[in-house]
Amino acid sequence: MDAFVVRGGRRLRGRVKINGSKNAALPLMAAALLTDEPITLENVPNLRDIASMANLLETLGCQAHRGDPAAGGDPHRMTLQATDASPCLAHYDIVRTMRASICVLGPLLTKRGRARVSMPGGCNIGDRPVDLHLRGLQALGAQISLDEGYIVAEARRLKGAKVFLGGTFGSTVLGTANLMSAAVLAEGTTVIESAACEPEVVDLARLLCAMGARIRGAGSPRITIEGVDRLHGAHHQVIPDRIEAGTFIMAAAITNGDVVIENCPTDALTAALDRLTEVGVELEPVDGSPDAGAAAGEVDPICQTVRVASTRRLQPVQVVTQPHPGFPTDLQAQIMALLCLADGNSMITEKIFPDRFLHVAELLRMGARLIRNGPTVLVTGVHHLVGAPVMASDLRASAGLVLAGLAARGTTTVNRVYHLDRGYEMMEVALRNLGADIERINVSA
C-alpha cells in the first residue's frame, strides 16, 4: 500500500496545469451507453476512478480505448463505443469501489430497457442514499426493485414527466445526471425541478446535445428535456477540474508560494475564491483574456492562467459548504488545513455531508486546534503545524492532509493515498515540480 512522505517547509514555485474533471468525465463515459456510435472524449484524466469506469463499461459491452503515448497517441483521449447491447449487469465487485458507477443506471435503463446495478460504494464521507435517483426513474415509468444488494430497473420505454430532485442536503449531482441521461430517450418531455447546477451537469448536457439530445436549462434548478428516438456519436472536451484547481490554489497559499496555474476554471470557483479572498489569497490573471466558449446553448466555465498571491498573515473566515454555486464540499478538507494557520478563529460548517470530518482527528495529530460540534468545526489558528504519520480516510481528506504536510515542520507520512489516486493525477509529481519535498513509498516493502 502506497503512502506519501512529505518534508514540509518549502515554498511552492512554478507552473501547474489543471487536468480534466474526474466528476465530469465519469457521467460522460457512462453516456456512451446511449448510442452504438463512437464517443470521443478529450482531456480525460488518468485516474483510478476513470480506469474503474472503463472496466465497468467493458463488462457492459462498451469498448473503451485510451490513446497510447508509445504509439504517438494522446493518453488523455478516450474513445468509447457500445458494441454489445445485451449486458445489463453492473457487478458489485466494480461498483463497490466508486459511487459514480451509479451513473450507468439511467443510460442502461433507457437504452436497453433493463438494468441491474449494485448499490454503489466509494469514499467514507457519510450516508449518500440513491433514493432520489430511484424515485426519479419511477416517475418516468420504471419498475424498481431491490434484490440482494442490487437495484433492478425495467421499462419498455420511459415516458417524460415532471420530477422533483430536492433532498435533505440539497440537490443530487449524480441523480441529476442519471435522470437527464434517462430522459433523453424517453417519450415526451421531462422537467427536472431542483436539479443540480454544478458545472459537471452542464458538461454532460453539452455532450448529450452534441449527440442529438434536446436539453434546456442545464446549470439552473430547472432542466427541460425533449425526448428523441436515438442518439449518435460525438466528440467532446472534458471541462477542467475545479476541485483540483482549488486544491493547488490552497497548496500555493498554505506554503506562501508563487504558483502560476494554467487552465484554471475561475468561473466555476466563485464561492471558493470569495472565501479565499477574505483569507488573504487572490488570483491574478497573468496573460490574455479568458477562454470562454459555448456549446449547446450553455456557457462553459471561464478558464484562465492565474498567479496565486497570498498575504503572509492569513485571516480567519466562516465557511459553509453548499450545493453549487456555493462553497464545494470537496474543498472543505483543504480549506480546513489552510485555516489551521490563520490568525484567529474560523468556523467551517458542512451542509452536504455532515459527517465528512474524519480528517479532523488526523489534523489534531499535526498540532491543529480544532473543536467539532455536530456539522461545524471551530478552527483556531496555530503558528505552525508539526509533521506526523496520518491516515487518509477519503479522497479529499487525503488532499487536505498533503497540504498540511507541505506547510508543517518536519516529516508527514500520509498513508492510504490510494484514495488520492482516485481524483488527482500523479499529484506528487506535480507538487515535486513546484519544489515540494514529497515522495511516494510502498509501506509494505
Classify residue 434 by its DSSP letter.
Answer: T
Say what the pLDDT of residue 223 is: 98
Q: Calculate helix-pair angle for 242-254, 332-339, nearest 10 degrees.
A: 10
Q: What's this model's pTM, rounded to 2 decimal places?
A: 0.93
Say what the pLDDT of residue 242 is: 98
Cell 465557511 maps to which residue?
319
Say what the pLDDT of residue 311 is: 77
295: buried, middle or exposed (CB in 10 Å: 19+, 13-18, 0-12)? Answer: middle
- How far apart, in whole angstroms, are the C-alpha atoms of residue 407 and residue 418? 22
Say what the pLDDT of residue 129 is: 67
208: buried, middle or exposed (CB in 10 Å: 19+, 13-18, 0-12)? Answer: buried
Cell 457500445 maps to which residue?
82
Say what the pLDDT of residue 72 is: 83
Catalytic residues: 123
DSSP-assigned states of every residue in 256-322? T-EEEEEEE-GGGGHHHHHHHHHHTEEEEE-SSS-B--EETTEEPPPBEEEEEEE-SSPPP-EEEE-
Backbone torsions φ then ψ of 157, nearest 5 degrees: -155, 130
DSSP-assigned states of every residue in 35-90? -SS-EEEES----HHHHHHHHHHHHTTEEEEE--GGGT--TT-EEEEE------EE
Say what the pLDDT of residue 445 is: 52
Cell 497540504 maps to which residue?
403
Say what the pLDDT of residue 300 is: 52
Hey, what's the torsion of the CAs at 226, 131, 334, 293, to 10 degrees? 0
Backbone torsions φ then ψ of 351, nearest 5 degrees: -105, 0
Nearest Cα to Cα of residue 335 among 322, 316, 351: 316
Taken in order 427, 433, 436, 437, the sign of the CA dihedral is: positive
Q: Which helix (H) or strand (E) holds 146?
A: strand 143-147
Strand order in the sheet with 143-147: 89-90, 114-118, 150-154, 143-147
Question: Mean pLDDT of successive 10-residue segments in the chain (445 residues)?
Answer: 95 97 97 98 95 96 91 92 96 85 96 93 52 94 93 96 88 94 98 97 98 98 98 98 98 96 96 97 78 41 86 93 96 98 97 91 98 97 98 92 98 94 95 98 79
Domains and CATH numbers, the chain: 2-19+240-442 (3.65.10.10), 22-237 (3.65.10.10)
Say what the pLDDT of residue 288 is: 61
Grid cell, residue 251, equals 497548496
